[in-house]
Amino acid sequence: MRIITVNTNGIRAAERKGFFPWLAQQEADVVCIQETKAQPEQLTADAFRPAGYHCYYHSAEKKGYSGVAIYSKHKPDKVIVGMGFDDIDSEGRYLEVQLGKLSVISLYLPSGSSKEERQAFKYTVMDRYMPILQENANSKRDYIICGDWNIAHKEIDLKNWKANQKNSGFLPEERAWLDQLFEQESWVDGFRVVNQEADQYTWWSNRGQAWAKNVGWRIDYQVISERLQEKVQSATIYKDERFSDHAPLIIDYDYPLS
Q: Which residues are annotated as catalytic?
A: 148
Question: How many beta carbons lie within 10 A of that of residue 116, not counting itself?
Answer: 9
E-assigned strands of the chain? 2-7, 30-34, 54-58, 68-72, 78-81, 94-99, 102-108, 142-148, 188-189, 203-204, 216-217, 220-224, 232-237, 249-253
Q: Which phi and psi (to 5°) does residue 254 adopt?
A: -85, 75
Q: Is the dihedral of CA 195, 196, 202, 206 positive or negative?
A: negative
Interstrand relation of 102-108 and 142-148 (parallel, antiparallel or unpaired):
parallel
Q: Which phi and psi (to 5°) does residue 147 adopt?
A: 150, -175
Contact criterion met (CB below 8 Å) for 1 and 251? no
Q: For residues 253 and 229, give the distance between their C-alpha atoms in angstroms, rounded to a whole number.
A: 9
Interstrand relation of 249-253 and 232-237 (parallel, antiparallel or unpaired):
antiparallel
Residue 38 pairs in a beta bridge with none
E-assigned strands of 17-83? 30-34, 54-58, 68-72, 78-81
